[in-house]
């Protein structure tokens, strides 16, 4: 089992994530590109989408999201970081070797190796078209030797910043395996990071699944993790073992079971996200009401699992650790509105700092519920157009999401924080 106590190789930007809400200082994103255009109704389900997206509309909406982030913190693009590390021939050779071996196309490595670093980075993300130079490939129904990474827009899942380390996720679907390989290579080799990664992805253990949308670092000593179709109990055991070896002080891991359906419940952050020190967003039917999905409270103390018990619900488990949260209901009070807005990522928020969050403007009843809790509602377009600073008081910054939300994720899904300031609890 990997040891979280390995030393960090520090360069320009350390990894530092000790909460969900500390002031954001660095984040990794991936602006949607041609990989989105290469999705069809025929391959959408295989690509983990329920519908295809209009790239021009999605890109314009994403520019609002990125524009707000750029006014607040340092923003890194995956494609740029990947191109940077591929300029090193040894790194390029290792990355291409791992990708081609994992996807069963070893003969593709030579062709990719002859490309420039920027072009190789583009094709690793947008896909490599199948060269029909023999009978088998000529008759193949496949269009790509390397399929496009349709899901890389959601940078949250393939790697997880945990304290001063990076955990490389073990994706639930093979179509996302290359994302983990790319993020692992970036964190190991880019001079901005140069971090020793802890890779679950490298394990030959199909029962282990871990995706970042299920992992929330609430406080330095409190993790909340969802288990369902994307993160398995074996994956959580992997994290428990790593934390057990790293920390001697008392720590809490609170596990929330998730339904297998509907698909909008794929990750914990689709039903629960942190907004402030004392406020959270919840999908009430799952998080607050009595149901068959259990909440398990695990206590680790002095390097051993001290106790495992069932809690009444997620908020009561958090309260027992000293984190007393007031819930804001996704969709407000009406159950139909709750269902509709949760489907379009109405519970999925990214905190820029305590009490300042980004979410989709389409979720009107959720925004109204936040307004009742003292949040001002500001459009991203107004901030960008008028070159306004990011507010310091309680604020919901709304971005257009008519198209992006159809991809099955929100602002938290589309961001992978690498550095936050500490929170004064």
pLDDT tens digit at each of 425 positions of the chain: 333 333 233 334 579 999 999 999 999 999 999 999 887 776 655 545 567 789 999 999 999 999 999 999 999 999 999 999 999 999 999 999 999 999 999 999 999 999 999 999 999 999 999 888 888 888 888 889 999 999 999 999 999 999 999 999 999 999 999 999 999 999 999 999 978 789 998 888 999 999 999 999 999 999 999 999 999 999 999 999 999 887 778 999 999 999 998 888 999 999 999 999 999 999 999 999 989 999 999 999 999 999 999 999 999 999 999 999 999 999 999 999 999 999 999 999 999 999 999 999 999 999 999 999 999 999 999 999 999 999 999 999 999 999 999 889 999 999 999 999 999 99
Asked if residue 406 lies in contact with residue 388, where contact means CB atoms within 8 angstroms, the answer is: no
Report the alpha-carbon distance of residue 357 to residue 362 in Å, rounded: 15
For CA atoms 90, 96, 98, 100, the dihedral sign is negative
Q: Looking at the chain, how many residues does it have? A: 425
pLDDT of residue 43: 61
pLDDT of residue 46: 52
DSSP for 185-207? HHHHH-TTT-PPEEESTTSS-TT
pLDDT of residue 1: 35
Q: Which two tokens stand for residue 141?
A: 């129904």
pLDDT of residue 153: 95
Report the alpha-carbon distance of residue 188 to residue 296 in Å, rounded: 34
Burial of 307 (0-12, 13-18, 19+ CB in 10 A): exposed
CA dihedral 399, 405, 407, 413 (to 10 degrees): 60
Could you tell me the residue ranges of all domains in the chain?
24-84+148-420, 85-146
pLDDT of residue 262: 84
pLDDT of residue 49: 56
Asked if residue 79 lies in contact with residue 33, where contact means CB atoms within 8 angstroms, the answer is: yes
Topology given in CATH for the domain delimited by 24-84+148-420: 3.75.10
Report the alpha-carbon distance of residue 289 to residue 273 in Å, rounded: 17
CA nearest neighbour of 354 among 276, 273, 281, 272: 276
pLDDT of residue 6: 34
Strands (E), 215-355: 215-219, 222-227, 251-257, 272-276, 279-282, 295-301, 304-311, 326-329, 350-353
Report the alpha-carbon distance of residue 223 to residue 220 in Å, rounded: 8
């Amino acid at each position: 089992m990997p040891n979280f106590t390995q030393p960090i190789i520090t360069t320009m930007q350390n990894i530092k994530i000790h909460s969900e809400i500390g002031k954001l200082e660095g984040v990794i994103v991936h602006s949607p590109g041609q990989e989105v255009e290469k999705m069809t109704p025929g391959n959408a389900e295989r690509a983990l989408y329920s519908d295809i997206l209009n790239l021009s509309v999605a890109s314009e909406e994403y520019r609002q999201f990125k524009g707000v982030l750029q006014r607040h913190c340092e923003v890194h693009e995956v494609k740029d970081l990947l191109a940077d590390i591929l300029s090193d021939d040894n790194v390029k050779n290792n990355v291409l070797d791992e990708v081609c071996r994992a996807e069963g196309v070893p003969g593709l490595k030579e062709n990719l190796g002859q490309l420039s670093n920027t072009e190789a980075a583009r094709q690793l993300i947008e896909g490599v078209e199948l060269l029909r130079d023999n009978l088998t490939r000529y008759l193949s129904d496949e269009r790509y030797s390397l399929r496009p990474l349709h899901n890389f827009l959601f940078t949250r899942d393939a790697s997880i910043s945990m304290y001063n380390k990076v955990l490389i996720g073990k994706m639930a679907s093979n179509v996302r395996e290359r994302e983990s390989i790319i993020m692992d290579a970036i964190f190991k080799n880019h001079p901005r990071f140069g971090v020793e990664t802890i890779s679950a992805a490298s394990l030959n253990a199909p029962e282990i699944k871990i995706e970042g949308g299920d992992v929330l670092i609430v406080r330095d000593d409190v993790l909340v993790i969802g288990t369902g179709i994307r993160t398995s109990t074996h994956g959580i055991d992997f994290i428990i073992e790593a934390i057990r070896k790293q920390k001697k002080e008392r720590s809490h891991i609170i596990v929330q079971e998730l339904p297998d359906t509907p698909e909008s419940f794929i990750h914990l952050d689709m039903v629960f996200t942190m907004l402030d020190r004392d406020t959270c967003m919840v999908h009430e039917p799952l998080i607050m009401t009595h149901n068959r999905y259990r909440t398990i409270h695990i206590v680790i103390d002095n390097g051993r699992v001290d106790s495992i018990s069932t809690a009444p619900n997620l908020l009561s488990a958090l309260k027992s650790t000293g984190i007393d949260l007031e819930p804001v209901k996704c969709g407000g009070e009406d159950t139909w509105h709750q269902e509709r807005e949760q489907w379009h990522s109405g519970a999925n928020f990214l905190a820029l700092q305590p009490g300042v969050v980004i979410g989709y403007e389409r979720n009107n009843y959720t925004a109204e519920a936040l307004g009742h809790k003292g949040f001002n509602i500001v459009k991203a377009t107004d901030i960008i157009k008028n070159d306004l600073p990011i507010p310091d008081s309680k604020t919901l910054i709304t971005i257009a999401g008519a198209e992006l939300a159809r991809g099955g994720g929100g602002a938290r899904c589309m961001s992978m924080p690498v550095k936050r300031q500490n929170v004064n609890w």
